[in-house]
Amino acid sequence: MSEARSRQAAGLQWKRLDRRRFGDVEDLLYRRELFCVSACSRFLYRERFSSQLWGFSNPGDSLTALLLHSKGTLFPVSNSRDTAAFGPSLLYFLKKNYIHAVQGLREDVLALEKVMEDTGRQSIDEIDYDLMILDNGPSPETLRAGPPGLSIRKPELWELDDIFPLQSAYETEEVLPRGAVFNAAACRVNLKHILKEETALVAELKGQIIAKANTSAVSFTRAQIGGVFVHPGCRGQGIARRVCAELAGILINAGWGVSLFVKKRNRSAQIVYRSIGFKPIADYRITYY
């Protein structure tokens, strides 16, 4: 009998967690925060995201794995590299809930993919990333990158229309899975949220906003950078390096550790982040359904 089925036979099942277990959830997420900033953020802001929490406990009733289901995305978090928890006992839950994507450490996501196949679902896209962190200040030279006259500043909400072309291009190029259709209205709502709730910077040159970067999640002690995008006609001048470095510097000076994940196939972005000082710590994966 496999380890996963042995546990199932022993009565170690996934259970829906209520507020009485939220302290245990927080403890597990805090211990694994370095690898799951997005999941931590969804837990901390669970009322906004209407999140559901499912937990897997050991015989002593200690929480060892967690599934956070938020707006169609499933975030698996395990206490160790114990992916056996993400096994057959999840079939009922996965069959009964709408799941658009699974996001987390690659091993955890791959384990869930196998169970998703047993529900009859086939993925439409799988994207592998490097999970990277920066806990000290960015490299000083990256704070001087970019062409003469480049200005980095915080955007205002009334500039939404000026920033929208960058955000829409970013979502089309970097976020949408294979075969998905861009939704302009949803993009505007997302951008409005970013300008109101996240820490964001724009790069301006000759009176034109040509680049952007923002936080995409905030956890217990870390902030996650996302949405880094430079107008195609302005690339190759160090602008992405500069705007990302300045954002990382602001976050670190405010007491946050900084995280991000970058597509393994995006070599130019890999070079930019490594030049700032980011270091890879794990393989990350998003699978879309």
Task: State mean pLDDT over 53-78.
Answer: 91
| For the chain, domain boundaries | 3-122, 133-282
Which pLDDT score, from 0 to 100, does residue 81 have? 61
Q: Is-above-0.85 flag for pTM? A: yes
The Cα–Cα gap between 38 and 172 comes to 21
Among 245, 141, 255, which residue's Cα sits nearest to residue 203? 245
Q: What is the pLDDT of residues 111-124, one digit of tens each?
A: 999 999 999 999 99
Token readout for 255 is: 């007491």
Among 226, 236, 234, which residue's Cα sits nearest to residue 259? 226
Which pLDDT score, from 0 to 100, does residue 50 have? 76
Average per-residue pLDDT in the chain?
Answer: 92
The Cα–Cα gap between 156 and 202 comes to 10
Q: Which residues, in sequence order, are CB contacts of 1 under 8 Å at separation 6+?
A: 9
For 86-95, 109-118, 246-255, which range has the lowest pLDDT when averaged over its residues?
Answer: 86-95
Same fold, 3-122 and 133-282: yes
Return the CATH class of domain 133-282: alpha beta
Which pLDDT score, from 0 to 100, does residue 6 have? 46
Which pLDDT score, from 0 to 100, does residue 80 have? 65
| Pairwise pLDDT comparison (3 vs 14), residue with the higher score | 14
Which pLDDT score, from 0 to 100, does residue 246 have? 98
Is the predicted pLDDT of residue 9 greater than 60, yes or no? Answer: no
Which pLDDT score, from 0 to 100, does residue 242 have? 98
Is the predicted pLDDT of residue 269 greater than 90, yes or no? Answer: yes
Q: What is the pLDDT of residues 174-213, one digit of tens each?
A: 999 999 999 999 999 999 999 999 999 999 999 999 999 9
From residue 72, how far is each of 98, 130, 134, 141, 166 by CA, in Å? 6, 23, 29, 41, 25
Percent of the chain's residues with pLDDT above 70:
93
Task: State mean pLDDT over 135-158.
Answer: 97
Banded model confidence at residue 83, pLDDT cuts 50, 70, 90? low
CATH 3.40.630 fits 3-122, yes or no: yes
Which pLDDT score, from 0 to 100, does residue 70 have? 93
